[in-house]
Amino acid sequence: MKQVLRTIAFSSAVALITGLAVANAAATGSSSTVRNKLTVMAPASPGGGWDGFSRESQAALRSEGIVNNVQVANVPGAGGTIGLSQLVQMSGRDDILMATGGVMIGAVSLGDTPESLQDVTPIARVADDYAALVVPADSPITSLDDFIEVWQADPEGTSIAGGSLGSIDHLMTGLLAGAIGLDPEQANYIAYSGGGEALSALLSHTTTGGISGYNEISGQVEAGQLRVLAVSSPERMPGVEVPTFMELGVDVTMSNWRGYVAPPGLDEAQTAELAAIVEEMQASSAWREVLKRNNWTDSYLVGPDFEAFLVEQQTEIDTIIEELGL
Interval 95-132: pLDDT, tens: 999 999 999 999 999 887 889 999 999 999 999 999 99
208/226 Cα distance (integer angstroms): 12
Question: Bigger pLDDT: 233 or 197?
Answer: 233
| Domain 131-231 CATH class label | alpha beta
- The vertex-159 CA angle with 48 and 215, nearest 5°, equals 30
- pLDDT of residue 69 exceeding 90, the answer is yes
Question: Which part of the chain is CATH 3.40.190.150?
Answer: 35-128+256-323
pLDDT at 232: 97
* pLDDT over 70, % of the chain: 89
285/103 Cα distance (integer angstroms): 28
pLDDT at 61: 98
147/109 Cα distance (integer angstroms): 29
pLDDT band at 194 (very low <50, low <70, confident <90, very high): low
- pLDDT of residue 7 exceeding 60, the answer is no
| Average confidence score pLDDT of the chain | 88
Task: Quick: pLDDT tens for 72-99.
Answer: 999 998 889 999 999 999 999 999 999 9
- pLDDT of residue 17 exceeding 70, the answer is no
Question: Which part of the chain is CATH 3.40.190.10?
Answer: 131-231
- pLDDT of residue 199 exceeding 90, the answer is no
**Averaging pLDDT over each range in 4-8, 32-36, 315-319, which range is the top one?**
315-319
Q: Which CATH superfamily is domain 35-128+256-323 in?
A: Bordetella uptake gene, domain 1 (3.40.190.150)
Which 3 state secondary structure label does DSSP give 43? Answer: coil
pLDDT at 215: 87
- The vertex-147 CA angle with 136 and 246, nearest 5°, equals 110
pLDDT at 54: 97
23-27, 143-147, 255-259: the lowest-pLDDT one = 23-27
